[in-house]
Structure 1
Amino acid sequence: MLVELDLFSGRPNPRWRLAPGAAEEFRALTAGLPPAGPAARTPSPGLGYRGFTVRDADRVVHVFAGRVTEGDASRTDPGRSLERWLLAQLPSSLGHLCSVVAEALDGDDG
Protein backbone atom coordinates (compact mmCIF):
# COMPACT_ATOMS: atom_id res chain seq x y z
CA MET A 1 0.00 0.00 0.00
CA LEU A 2 1.54 3.27 -1.17
CA VAL A 3 0.78 6.58 0.58
CA GLU A 4 1.39 9.97 -1.02
CA LEU A 5 1.31 13.17 1.00
CA ASP A 6 -0.09 15.84 -1.35
CA LEU A 7 1.87 18.85 -0.16
CA PHE A 8 4.11 20.31 -2.84
CA SER A 9 3.57 22.14 -6.10
CA GLY A 10 6.31 21.92 -8.68
CA ARG A 11 8.22 19.07 -7.07
CA PRO A 12 7.43 15.44 -6.25
CA ASN A 13 5.27 14.71 -3.23
CA PRO A 14 6.65 12.40 -0.54
CA ARG A 15 5.60 8.76 -0.83
CA TRP A 16 6.08 5.72 1.36
CA ARG A 17 4.77 2.20 1.78
CA LEU A 18 2.70 1.15 4.75
CA ALA A 19 3.79 -1.97 6.60
CA PRO A 20 1.37 -4.90 6.11
CA GLY A 21 -0.14 -4.51 9.59
CA ALA A 22 -0.66 -0.78 9.07
CA ALA A 23 -2.21 -1.45 5.67
CA GLU A 24 -4.76 -3.78 7.28
CA GLU A 25 -5.48 -1.16 9.94
CA PHE A 26 -6.03 1.48 7.22
CA ARG A 27 -8.54 -0.80 5.48
CA ALA A 28 -10.40 -1.38 8.75
CA LEU A 29 -10.41 2.31 9.69
CA THR A 30 -11.70 3.28 6.25
CA ALA A 31 -14.45 0.65 6.29
CA GLY A 32 -15.59 1.86 9.72
CA LEU A 33 -16.35 5.41 8.58
CA PRO A 34 -19.97 6.36 7.87
CA PRO A 35 -21.07 7.07 4.29
CA ALA A 36 -21.31 10.74 3.37
CA GLY A 37 -24.66 12.15 2.40
CA PRO A 38 -25.37 13.27 -1.16
CA ALA A 39 -24.67 16.92 -0.31
CA ALA A 40 -21.28 16.21 1.25
CA ARG A 41 -18.45 17.64 -0.80
CA THR A 42 -14.76 17.96 -0.17
CA PRO A 43 -13.63 21.58 -0.10
CA SER A 44 -11.36 22.68 -2.92
CA PRO A 45 -7.81 22.73 -1.61
CA GLY A 46 -5.49 25.65 -2.19
CA LEU A 47 -1.73 25.59 -2.03
CA GLY A 48 0.07 23.58 0.61
CA TYR A 49 -1.44 20.53 2.30
CA ARG A 50 -4.06 18.82 0.12
CA GLY A 51 -4.45 15.48 1.87
CA PHE A 52 -3.24 11.94 1.37
CA THR A 53 -3.71 9.60 -1.58
CA VAL A 54 -3.49 5.90 -0.75
CA ARG A 55 -3.06 3.32 -3.50
CA ASP A 56 -3.97 -0.25 -2.62
CA ALA A 57 -3.74 -2.52 -5.70
CA ASP A 58 -6.42 -1.10 -8.04
CA ARG A 59 -8.00 0.99 -5.27
CA VAL A 60 -7.24 4.74 -4.93
CA VAL A 61 -8.45 6.49 -1.76
CA HIS A 62 -8.13 10.22 -1.18
CA VAL A 63 -8.25 11.48 2.42
CA PHE A 64 -8.70 15.22 2.96
CA ALA A 65 -10.72 17.68 5.05
CA GLY A 66 -12.78 15.07 6.87
CA ARG A 67 -13.73 13.22 3.69
CA VAL A 68 -12.53 9.87 2.40
CA THR A 69 -13.29 9.38 -1.27
CA GLU A 70 -12.87 6.37 -3.49
CA GLY A 71 -14.26 6.82 -6.97
CA ASP A 72 -17.84 8.09 -6.56
CA ALA A 73 -18.13 6.80 -2.98
CA SER A 74 -17.47 9.14 -0.08
CA ARG A 75 -17.26 8.67 3.68
CA THR A 76 -17.15 11.26 6.42
CA ASP A 77 -14.41 11.61 9.00
CA PRO A 78 -15.39 14.78 10.89
CA GLY A 79 -12.60 14.42 13.46
CA ARG A 80 -10.08 13.86 10.65
CA SER A 81 -8.90 10.80 12.55
CA LEU A 82 -7.81 8.98 9.39
CA GLU A 83 -5.71 11.96 8.27
CA ARG A 84 -4.10 12.09 11.71
CA TRP A 85 -3.51 8.33 11.62
CA LEU A 86 -1.82 8.59 8.21
CA LEU A 87 0.31 11.46 9.50
CA ALA A 88 1.41 9.23 12.39
CA GLN A 89 2.59 6.67 9.81
CA LEU A 90 5.01 9.20 8.26
CA PRO A 91 8.50 7.65 8.13
CA SER A 92 11.13 9.26 10.34
CA SER A 93 13.01 10.41 7.22
CA LEU A 94 10.01 12.67 6.48
CA GLY A 95 9.50 13.76 10.09
CA HIS A 96 10.30 17.38 9.24
CA LEU A 97 6.94 17.54 7.41
CA CYS A 98 4.91 16.41 10.42
CA SER A 99 4.53 19.86 11.99
CA VAL A 100 3.52 21.43 8.66
CA VAL A 101 0.69 18.94 8.16
CA ALA A 102 -0.35 18.93 11.83
CA GLU A 103 -0.63 22.73 11.73
CA ALA A 104 -2.82 22.52 8.62
CA LEU A 105 -5.04 19.88 10.27
CA ASP A 106 -5.39 21.90 13.47
CA GLY A 107 -5.95 25.16 11.60
CA ASP A 108 -8.72 23.67 9.45
CA ASP A 109 -10.62 22.14 12.40
CA GLY A 110 -11.96 25.39 13.78
Structure 2
Amino acid sequence: MASDIVRRDGDGLPERRPRREAARHSRQERELVHRHNLDIGQLMATGKHEEVKAILRKQFTEDGMQDVVDIANLARDLVGEDPFLAALIVPIAQEYARTTSRDIRDYGRRRGL
Protein backbone atom coordinates (compact mmCIF):
# COMPACT_ATOMS: atom_id res chain seq x y z
CA MET A 1 0.00 0.00 0.00
CA ALA A 2 1.41 3.41 -0.98
CA SER A 3 0.32 5.13 2.24
CA ASP A 4 2.40 2.87 4.47
CA ILE A 5 5.94 3.41 5.70
CA VAL A 6 8.09 0.29 5.63
CA ARG A 7 10.23 -0.32 8.71
CA ARG A 8 12.16 -3.30 9.97
CA ASP A 9 11.08 -5.01 13.16
CA GLY A 10 13.47 -6.67 15.62
CA ASP A 11 13.79 -9.75 13.39
CA GLY A 12 14.72 -7.69 10.33
CA LEU A 13 11.38 -8.39 8.67
CA PRO A 14 9.44 -5.56 7.04
CA GLU A 15 6.85 -4.00 9.28
CA ARG A 16 4.16 -1.68 7.98
CA ARG A 17 3.05 1.37 9.92
CA PRO A 18 0.38 3.76 8.66
CA ARG A 19 1.54 7.29 7.90
CA ARG A 20 -0.82 8.76 10.48
CA GLU A 21 0.80 6.67 13.24
CA ALA A 22 4.27 7.62 11.98
CA ALA A 23 3.32 11.31 11.97
CA ARG A 24 1.92 11.06 15.52
CA HIS A 25 5.11 9.35 16.69
CA SER A 26 7.24 12.01 14.99
CA ARG A 27 5.16 14.82 16.53
CA GLN A 28 5.57 13.27 19.99
CA GLU A 29 9.34 13.06 19.48
CA ARG A 30 9.48 16.73 18.42
CA GLU A 31 7.46 17.75 21.49
CA LEU A 32 9.78 15.77 23.76
CA VAL A 33 12.88 17.41 22.23
CA HIS A 34 11.25 20.83 22.55
CA ARG A 35 10.47 20.25 26.26
CA HIS A 36 14.03 18.99 26.80
CA ASN A 37 15.45 22.13 25.19
CA LEU A 38 13.19 24.34 27.32
CA ASP A 39 14.37 22.55 30.47
CA ILE A 40 18.01 23.11 29.52
CA GLY A 41 17.31 26.77 28.79
CA GLN A 42 15.62 27.24 32.16
CA LEU A 43 18.52 25.58 33.97
CA MET A 44 21.00 27.84 32.17
CA ALA A 45 18.93 30.92 32.99
CA THR A 46 18.90 30.05 36.69
CA GLY A 47 22.65 29.49 36.78
CA LYS A 48 22.56 25.72 37.21
CA HIS A 49 25.44 25.16 34.82
CA GLU A 50 26.64 21.93 36.44
CA GLU A 51 23.24 20.33 35.88
CA VAL A 52 23.24 21.44 32.26
CA LYS A 53 26.73 20.04 31.74
CA ALA A 54 25.64 16.72 33.25
CA ILE A 55 22.54 16.58 31.04
CA LEU A 56 24.54 17.36 27.91
CA ARG A 57 27.26 14.85 28.80
CA LYS A 58 24.62 12.14 29.38
CA GLN A 59 22.86 12.94 26.10
CA PHE A 60 26.14 12.98 24.18
CA THR A 61 27.14 9.64 25.72
CA GLU A 62 23.80 7.98 24.95
CA ASP A 63 23.77 9.28 21.38
CA GLY A 64 27.38 8.25 20.79
CA MET A 65 26.88 4.74 22.13
CA GLN A 66 23.72 4.31 20.05
CA ASP A 67 25.74 5.34 16.99
CA VAL A 68 28.36 2.69 17.84
CA VAL A 69 25.64 0.05 18.13
CA ASP A 70 24.12 1.15 14.81
CA ILE A 71 27.50 0.98 13.05
CA ALA A 72 28.23 -2.46 14.51
CA ASN A 73 24.83 -3.75 13.37
CA LEU A 74 25.32 -2.27 9.91
CA ALA A 75 28.78 -3.84 9.65
CA ARG A 76 27.36 -7.22 10.69
CA ASP A 77 24.60 -6.94 8.11
CA LEU A 78 27.01 -5.92 5.34
CA VAL A 79 29.58 -8.60 6.12
CA GLY A 80 27.23 -11.54 6.44
CA GLU A 81 29.36 -14.68 6.11
CA ASP A 82 31.99 -13.20 3.77
CA PRO A 83 35.47 -13.26 5.38
CA PHE A 84 36.90 -10.89 2.74
CA LEU A 85 34.29 -8.23 3.52
CA ALA A 86 34.82 -8.83 7.23
CA ALA A 87 38.54 -8.12 6.83
CA LEU A 88 37.67 -4.79 5.21
CA ILE A 89 34.67 -3.59 7.20
CA VAL A 90 35.26 -4.82 10.77
CA PRO A 91 38.43 -2.73 11.34
CA ILE A 92 36.54 0.38 10.25
CA ALA A 93 33.70 -0.35 12.69
CA GLN A 94 36.22 -1.03 15.47
CA GLU A 95 38.06 2.23 14.82
CA TYR A 96 34.74 4.10 14.86
CA ALA A 97 33.91 2.54 18.24
CA ARG A 98 37.35 3.44 19.65
CA THR A 99 37.17 7.01 18.37
CA THR A 100 33.64 7.53 19.65
CA SER A 101 34.57 6.12 23.07
CA ARG A 102 37.57 8.45 23.25
CA ASP A 103 35.43 11.42 22.23
CA ILE A 104 32.88 10.59 24.92
CA ARG A 105 35.59 10.17 27.56
CA ASP A 106 37.30 13.45 26.60
CA TYR A 107 34.11 15.45 26.07
CA GLY A 108 34.32 18.76 27.89
CA ARG A 109 37.93 18.46 28.93
CA ARG A 110 39.23 20.50 26.01
CA ARG A 111 36.23 22.76 25.64
CA GLY A 112 35.85 23.84 29.25
CA LEU A 113 32.53 22.07 29.78
For the pair shown, the structure with the greater C-alpha radius of gyration is 2
TM-score (norm 1): 0.27
**Greater length-normalized contact order (CA 8 Å, ≥ 6 residues apart):** 1
More helix, by proportion: 2
